[in-house]
Structure 1
Amino acid sequence: MRFMQSRLSRPVALVYRGPASLPGCPEAVAELLAASDRGFDIHFTGPRERVPLSSDSLARAALYAQPGGDTLEQAYRHLRDQREAIRGFVGGGGRYLGFCLGGYLAGATPGFALLPGDTDQYIDTRRATVRTEDNTVVEVRWRGRSRQLFFQDGPHFDIDTDTGTTVLATYPNKAIAAAVTPFGAGRVGVVGPHPEATPDWFTDAGLRYPQGADPHTACGRDLALDLVDAVMAG
């Protein structure tokens, strides 16, 4: 495939962009991956992109990233034909990275069934600190440190942690907010909030930017890069 023949020494990252995402979400993930020291060769993939989402394109990639989007049921309708290709890619040693909707899609009802368990709405959990589906800010504890992140009806992960899973972050009620877990020979990294969210996301939603965050970058970029490094490890 021509798009991967010029820089074969760099790991290829495919970022989904299409009807199962929302404008700005794929671009934020691509910007995040560009900031990683992994040296990714980044390409958008999807039905209207130069790189189709298929078994052939995934076979030439190291990482597939599923960004945020609209509703789970609608997104899955657009992606269900690629379910087995994505499962085969990860099971064979590839890496899956899911943000918000991409985290939901890593689950099974419906989804790609890449997790040792499933996903559900954080807002419906007991003692959830957020009850609205609207854009807001949520507190998480990431590797023991309290942080505030952009949030829009993201999932929590009801998964078996005795299967080699690393829990990176929890919500205040201890529900899992971010984790990395094995799937076959590959690894799956998922996060419910949006650590990749750029400052304009907060501005457009009328939200106050978290205190102490760099106004020129994604306020959770260090956390998002931690997730990238964790899913690429091993």
Structure 2
Amino acid sequence: IKETPVRAMIHAAAEFVPTPATLIALVVVATPTSKGLAGMFIGDLVAAWGAAADLSSERHIVWVDKPFRRVLSCAPPMYDELWTAGKAMYKLEPALAEDGELIIFAPHLDVVSHVHGKYIYEIGYHVLPYFLKQWDRFKHVPLGILAHSTHVRGDGRFENGIEYPRASVALATKIPPEACAQLALGYRDPDEINVAEWQNLEEDGILYVPKAGEMLYRVREQPEAQ
């Protein structure tokens, strides 16, 4: 995830800047066990960035050995709308198994988006091909809102008019069941979720994340069998 097309474009654009540049790249952490500066790299633009990115992959990503089939992703009260609490999904999706289930648990949350709610209720949450293959239907919607929709819904396919999400996503919030259905998301009653029943079950493929949205979760690449 270090070398991406966007990063390549940034580096290419920087080559057109005539003024010599020295990069100061900071890696900052804010976790329950560590807060502050994790590293500072000064030097050539690409080299300093590369060193900072390498450290960031160690400090900002939780690496797991295998994907989880069920995830209870708790969005803290600082996320007061689904527009921001959606990070509880897309920060965890890389560690979610095929056909798995992720529940965004946020009993305090009762708003999809104060600013963009009208559009989001109109289009719902869907996989990217759902929009691309029906572009004339959705081309009036701002791209940032479409991106938010696909990030929360996750990866999947859209074939012959049928959507096939890679995994299921449900809300356990104050947003009522009928609104979740309109949004094309599942519903779970937050009062019926016992957090203790989700804890310490990683070996069974169940993950509990008490403060989701800040750390990215990814599955380590496993060595190929000889």
| TM bin (shorter chain) | under 0.3
Larger radius of gyration: 2
Whose helix fraction is larger, Structure 1's or Structure 2's? 2
TM-score w.r.t. the length of structure 1 is 0.24
Greater relative contact order: 1 or 2 (C-alpha under 8 angstroms, separation 6 or more)? 2
TM-score w.r.t. the length of structure 2 is 0.24
